[in-house]
Structure 1
Amino acid sequence: MAISIQQGTDMTEEAGTEDAKIVKMIVFVVGEQEYCIPILSVREIRKFEKTTALPYAPAYVCGAINLRGVILTVIDLAVYLNVKPEADNPRRVVVIVESSNGIVCGILVDRVIDMADVNLGEIQAVSEEGSSLSGLVMIGDRIIGVLRLDTVVGELVGNAIPE
């Protein structure tokens, strides 16, 4: 099972007013927390399959998968974020993402639950510099972490890719 996501040309789409920049986000769950990333950075969503182990890889690396002839590293976001994943969860999926600098990898999450329009002006920044979160946003009555995808992918996979 794979869900392909159509990619647009620009990460932000203006809606209505000049200062309201609305970004379509995909919302997923890791442990008990919800996170989101821009939909335009998502290539596809795949059912979690067995990965090939990578010797001497950090604990957050599940292994590698073959995606139509391309070998991709899969990151267990729960291990990276130091949260307990949902136990015996058959809904775990791999979100294939591409960072702004072109690094493609898979991120293992407990489940994808939603797509939402997020006003960039409503994201409240977190205080930690270099954090994997760019901020928090309210969607309805839920507080959702906005994952800083370039930071996460750069830390987890980018440093291992030779230039």
Structure 2
Amino acid sequence: MTEAAEATDAQIVKMIVFTVGEQEYCIPILSVREIRGFEKTTALPFAPHYVCGAINLRGIILTVIDLAVYLNIQPQANNPRRVVVIVESKNGIVYGLLVDRVIDMADVNIDTIQSVPEEGSSLSGLVTIGNRMIGVLRLETVVSQLVEGMASA
């Protein structure tokens, strides 16, 4: 493999694409541990409003964030395809993201991601895949707000 080909490959990140309401978002596939069907969660008292509860994943208790509530988006009503995407942040925190459905996997060139100007935004940018505009979710912002929200409760 030539050096130019290796440099190009290094800029490609495999992303998992999912919907929340009518919007599409993606996260790096390497952050995803597994995808599982949505099950009833156990309520967590004094948790932030976007936390729908906790689930038991093979003996590990995980907090589940309802991304529709977190992102202030109307979720798809009566959607039987809602799933929980189990993710791990860079600092090792494992949690679940409740999404309306997983729709795709895509190879994204990081150079094509258009940055979002908002400081502290949950999106690191937007990327066009085909004719679709997809938000690139910044997991570190989501988890830091979750940790801060749980600590202040």
Q: Could you tell me the TM-score, scaled by structure 1's length?
A: 0.86
- Tell me which of 136, 139, 146 is aligned to 1:146: 136
C-alpha contact 1:105 1:157 (8 A) present in aligned 2: no
1:102 equivalent in alignment to 2:99:
no
Out of 59, 79, 86, the residue aligned to residue 76 of structure 2 is: 86
Matches within 5 A, 1:18-57: 18=7, 21-57=11-47
Structure 1 residue aligned with 2:5: 16
SS at match of 1:16: helix
Alignment identity in percent? 78
Give the match's secondary structure for 1:129. Answer: coil
| Count of residues paired in the alignment | 148
One-letter amino acid of the structure 1 residue matched with residue 90 of structure 2 = S
Structure 1 residues 15 and 145, CA gap change in structure 2 (3 angstroms): farther
Say if 1:158 and 1:43 are closer, same or farther in 2 by CA, change over 3 A.
farther
Task: Report which structure shows greater RCO (CA 8 Å, sep ≥6).
Answer: 2
Shift of 1:157: 3.4
Conserved? CA contact 1:73–1:157, under 8 Å: no
Unaligned runs of 5+ in 1: 1-13
Q: TM-score, normalised by structure 2?
A: 0.92
C-alpha distance 26-134 of structure 1, shift in aligned 2 (>3 A): same
Residues 30-39 or 53-62, more deviating = 53-62
Structure-1 residue corresponding to 2:67? 77
Equivalent of 1:61 in 51, 55, 58: 51
- Structure 2 unaligned regions, length at least 5: none
Counterparts of 1:57 and 1:96, CA distance in 2: 19
- For the 8 Å contact 1:52–1:63, the answer to whether it is kept is yes
Higher helix share: 2
* Amino acid in the other structure paired with 1:99: S
Shift of 1:16: 2.3
Offset of residue 158 of structure 1: 5.8
Structure 1 residue 55: deviation in Å?
0.9
What is the CA–CA distance in structure 2 between the aligned matches of 1:82 and 1:73, rounded to whole Å?
A: 19
Counterparts in 2 of 1:22 and 1:91: CA distance versus 1, 3 Å:
same
Using the TM superposition, give the Cα deviation of residue 134 of structure 1 relative to its aligned residue in structure 2, in angstroms: 0.3
Secondary structure, aligned partner of 1:100: coil
